[in-house]
Copies of this chain bind each other. A is one copy, B any other.
């Protein structure tokens, strides 16, 4: 089946497969059966077979899955077979934390610069990355291809900044501001509403 026909539920699970398979590869494991992967991931073996069958015959009876091939194929589906350039808008603690995430770099997701509205942060460096004043955005984007803007700014400014970035050609947004962004249809937005995740926890603690 072509990658375009994979359901959203499967897509949501793919990064998790990536994480476990990458760990296996780091441990030197070259192939793994659906049963072993099932034990490790705490997912049923039949779910694993069903998910991984979506993208071709990597599992062979009596052999299992080739770990490297599977990583490569899932990476291709997730768009990780080419590098992506990211900028972080909002050089506060969260922006700084994300700028230091080694995990992203290993997937070809490179944070290239940070931007901040505070003049005193301009032209400083965070973990080897330049912090620019917001008014440098247009010039920067003209010279540097940017695939994803990471928004770690207060919700009050998020819509205006996202709109500005869209106007300058950015089409993908990883949004940590607690607001739904209104952007044209060809913009992709992935929201991370941290307090919503914490409320899931308080729900389950209290039931």
Contacts and interface: CB of A to CB of B under 8 A. Distances in A.
Interface string A173-207: 01000101000000010101111111111111111
A52 interface: no
A126 to B, nearest CB: 9
What's the number of copies of this chain in the assembled complex? 2
Given A19-B178, A174-B197, A203 B42 contact: no
Question: Chain A's interface: helix, strand, loop or mixed, by majority?
Answer: helix
Nearest 5 interchain pairs by C-beta? A79-B206, A93-B97, A15-B196, A94-B97, A190-B201
Interface of A: 3-4, 11-12, 14-16, 18-19, 41-42, 77-80, 84, 92-94, 96-98, 100-101, 103-104, 107, 109, 147-148, 171-172, 174, 178, 180, 188, 190, 192-207
